[in-house]
Structure 1
Amino acid sequence: MSAAPRTTVLPDRWFRANPDSAALSRPRLLARSLIHLAELDERIGFYEELTGTAADLRMPIPDFGGLELAAVGNMLLIASVRPFTDIQRRTAHSVIVPALTAQLKRLRAAGATVLEPPETILPGSRARVRYTDGTVAELVEHRPQPGELPRPSPRPAVRGAEPVLLVRRAVSASAFPAAVALYETALGTRCDTRLRLDGAFPVELATVGSLLIVGTDGPEFTRSADVGLALVTTVPLERAYGLPVPLDGIAPAGRHLVVLREGTLAEVWDGSVGLRPATTPGP
């Protein structure tokens, strides 16, 4: 008689709608927000309201620095009661990958440097890399714990999705073509949208999965290069969620900066300019 499969006792509040990332059709890119653990529930609620998307994972990881993570759409909330390390703060984004070994092989071939080799963690395994453009990213492979089944968020359903939240990467105009090629390789998908907006400072835009690449020598790069979050919407977002931040009135039409209600600085693009970001990757 065969023994019953072992079941892992997971921490309280743990759920994953998709505990095995092997089912992903391509890597899932996530913006990162580092917060105190006491803020986590409020931030989850804010991003669910903002994007109209329910959280699809929440993972307390007590043996890994006391972290607790939650993902809402393309946003990863990383909460801790301890101060974050320098490398955690310098990490630009997180990527949930179908297979960590295969992803590292692909990135090494593209010139990436492995800063932290693979290690086993409760969700599966992880590594940290630096791309050829200097961007630091954390890669995570999700695998189910013994007996773990897909489990949706226990929170109530939210309204329909609007706006779309994207990871933002700003580069100079000359670096734009190389950046598009780099992230097509890193994210395993082709560019979804490519636009050029003319003006005092021409701006080139590309979406690669859930990444928005902004290429320009104007204020979208020189004065806001460190803004890591973008929103594509057809509604006046700042009226409901934040306050506009002026850029001397020379930003291209359809674009402005907003301080969101929870304090994050985000770039907002009017969806009418033609951006068509891809949806979250699935099986």
Structure 2
Amino acid sequence: MTLPERWFRTRPDSSVLDRPRLLARSLIDAAALDDRIGRYERLLGARADLRMPIPDFGGLELAAVGGLLLIASERPFTPMQRRTAYSLIVPSLAGALRLVRANGGIVLEPREAIVPGARARVRFADGAIAELVEHRPRPGERPRPPGGPAPRPTGVRLMARLVTPSAAFERSVALYEAMLGTPAEARTRHPSPIASDLAVVGELLIIGSDGLAAEGAPAAAFALLAEPGAAAFDPGEHGRAERRLETGALAEIWTDPARGSRRPVSPHPNLRAT
């Protein structure tokens, strides 16, 4: 197979990853992809690190910028694609599926070969649906970084988000520490009017809040973690805000908990399971 001209991956082989990479998902029309890539590169101060046109699959094209996977298609998205909360690039799909089962999850769609490598769809023990993808290089493919100058750093990180009732917060942190193979990077009690516990696990922000969990408002597509002084995305005096981005996505903005106080976190007992 000859790869399309726009195809590039900085890591064609995900077996080199030391843990899964979790990505928030944005489903968009194929005609909007170039525009969205540029806007998110400027927002996050990061270049896209993969772009994969897959024209034989309904005009599908994927691009990753920071913690976001842009999924562009020429045809309507299926209900299952819309219900899928996360995409994970995993070192080993077989190992990831064993880990899902070991931690109370189930496989919804079994392993199948795809152009980037192989995929499966699962439901985690907390009910979240995720697509797991194992990347493997195509014949003759080499790592290829994007061209052009690096954007200016913005002090903003994009994270997938999970809102859970306060009573389930610790269980959620332990589950995703196991599923993502990493301890929580930061944990804090947030002093906003909606009292919240926050934990950053890999590329996921876990929010324990009875107030937010009970809200019926449309959920933000993802979270933006802003360093203090990132004026364009200042979450305000309460450290939390919602904003509609120029891309149309609704984002929840928090002061980055990794920039505040940290406390040691013990690894989950299944953290190294494979």
TM-score by length of structure 2 reads 0.89
For 1:39-68, what per-residue CA distance to the aligned partner results, in whole angstroms no more than 9, with x for missing partners? Answer: 000000000000000000000012223210
Could you say if the C-alpha distance between residues 71 and 109 of structure 1 is closer, same or farther in structure 2, counting changes exceeding 3 Å? same
Count of residues in Structure 1 that have an aligned counterpart in Structure 2:
259
Could you say if the C-alpha distance between residues 104 and 125 of structure 1 is closer, same or farther in structure 2, counting changes exceeding 3 Å? same
1:135 corresponds to which residue? 128
Aligned mate of 1:260, from 221, 227, 245: 245
2:168 corresponds to which residue? 175
Aligned mate of 1:89, from 82, 86, 89: 82
2:271 is equivalent to residue 271 of structure 1: no
2:143 is equivalent to residue 150 of structure 1: yes
Task: Give matches, 1:88-237, under 5 Å.
Answer: 88-198=81-191, 201-219=194-212, 222-223=215-216, 226-233=219-226, 234=228, 235-237=230-232
2:24 is equivalent to residue 31 of structure 1: yes
| Maintained 8 Å contact 2:193/2:238 | no
| Maintained 8 Å contact 1:168/1:229 | yes
The amino acid of 1:23's aligned partner reads V
For 1:167-205, what per-residue CA distance to the aligned partner results, in whole angstroms no more than 9, with x for missing partners? Answer: 111111111111111111111111111111346542100
Could you say if the C-alpha distance between residues 134 and 257 of structure 1 is closer, same or farther in structure 2, counting changes exceeding 3 Å? same
Q: Which one is further off, 184-193 or 195-204?
A: 195-204
| Maintained 8 Å contact 1:70/1:77 | yes
Could you say if the C-alpha distance between residues 275 and 44 of structure 1 is closer, same or farther in structure 2, counting changes exceeding 3 Å? farther
| Maintained 8 Å contact 1:15/1:151 | yes
The whole-number CA distance in structure 1 between the counterparts of 2:248 and 2:193 is 30
Q: Which runs of 5+ in 1 are unaligned?
A: 1-7, 245-250, 277-283
The whole-number CA distance in structure 2 between the counterparts of 1:137 and 1:172 is 20
1:3 corresponds to which residue? none
Deviation at 1:236, TM superposition (A): 2.9
The amino acid of 1:85's aligned partner reads T
The whole-number CA distance in structure 1 between the counterparts of 2:58 and 2:111 is 17
Deviation at 1:221, TM superposition (A): 5.4
TM-score by length of structure 1 reads 0.86
The whole-number CA distance in structure 1 between the counterparts of 2:261 and 2:6 is 36
Any idea what SS the aligned residue of 2:183 has?
coil
| Maintained 8 Å contact 2:58/2:74 | no
Any idea what SS the aligned residue of 1:77 has?
strand
| Maintained 8 Å contact 1:170/1:225 | no
Aligned mate of 1:46, from 36, 39, 43: 39
| Maintained 8 Å contact 2:180/2:202 | yes
| Maintained 8 Å contact 1:92/1:228 | no
Deviation at 1:86, TM superposition (A): 0.4
For 1:241-262, what per-residue CA distance to the aligned partner results, in whole angstroms no more than 9, with x for missing partners? Answer: xxx9xxxxxx981111111111
The amino acid of 2:158's aligned partner reads L
Q: Which runs of 5+ in 2 are unaligned?
A: 263-274
Any idea what SS the aligned residue of 2:150 has?
coil
Deviation at 1:156, TM superposition (A): 3.7
1:5 corresponds to which residue? none
| Maintained 8 Å contact 1:59/1:68 | yes
Could you say if the C-alpha distance between residues 199 and 139 of structure 1 is closer, same or farther in structure 2, counting changes exceeding 3 Å? closer
For 1:84-135, what per-residue CA distance to the aligned partner results, in whole angstroms no more than 9, with x for missing partners? Answer: 0000000001000000000000111111110110000010000000011110
Any idea what SS the aligned residue of 2:71 has?
strand
| Maintained 8 Å contact 2:163/2:212 | no
